[in-house]
Amino acid sequence: MRLRNVKGAKEKIEGDDYTIKLPNEKKGIWKDVFGNDNPIHIEIGMGKGKFIMELAKKNPNINYIGIEKYSSVLVRALEKRPELEQDNLYFIRMDAEDLNEVFEEEEVARIYLNFSDPWPKERHAKRRLTSVQFLERYNKCLDQDGLIIFKTDNRELFDFSLEQVELAGWNLENVTYDLHHSEYAEGNVMTEYEEKFSKEGKPINRMVIRRKRG
């Protein structure tokens, strides 16, 4: 994925009050950051932030953390942050591989994965955010009833993800190959990509999986 460089993005991120600069120092104490015991939901690869911003507005009793690897993308989310009146949303610029350096065991209640990079080459399969390797990372930080909600327009990635869920021993709660024409469409919050793809008539795949026990 080729990204357009945004001049001054790193400086804006460094000066932003809602971007956590040393997230590994918050491991195990994220409730102190938010000042409450509300459940923590995270989005990995949040893009420009439309999805997580809308969730934060609708659910003031849930704490949200948006994770984005690229400064030039994260800075666009920061531009939207002033629209949110409550303090239940923070951001982290980091690679998802470092997730367990930032969140303690059972510290997260839910993870959202939306239109993740498919990494189409087979040799890059371990980099896919729904690979067995990443599911193991999620399993460590999710609580006992922790969920992952994954949406994508990429059917090959979705089929791969279903295989990985079984291999990793997770539980498949529900699945649809056409979200917007399914029983799960009500209450669905769309991302920027989702709005674009749905207007083009592309079906959206979605699965909800629950962490393995034991």
What gap in Å lies between CA 177 and CA 166, rounded to an integer? 17
Instruction: Determine if residue 140 is labeled as part of a ligand binding site.
Output: no
Consult the annotation and say whether 17 binds a ligand: no
The reply, when asked if residue 70 is annotated as ligand binding, is no
Q: Between helices 132-141 and 155-168, what is the axis angle to 10°?
A: 60
Q: Contact at 8 Å (CB) between 75 and 7?
A: no
Contacts of residue 154, Cβ cutoff 8 Å, sequence gap at least 6: 115, 118, 205
| 191 annotated among ligand-binding-site residues | yes
Asked about 117 being catalytic, the answer comes back as yes
Length of the chain (residues):
214
* Residue 159 assigned ligand-binding role: no
Q: Does 194 carry a binding-site annotation?
A: yes
Selecting among 117, 145, 159, 178, the annotated active-site residue is 117
Strand stretches in the chain, DSSP E: 40-44, 63-68, 89-93, 108-114, 142-152, 171-176, 205-210
Annotation-wise, does 43 bind a ligand? Answer: yes
Is there a binding annotation on residue 95? Answer: yes
List the binding residues for S-adenosyl-L-methionine: 43, 68, 95, 117
List the binding residues for substrate: 121, 153, 191-194
List the binding residues: 43, 68, 95, 117, 121, 153, 191-194
Residues classed as catalytic: 117
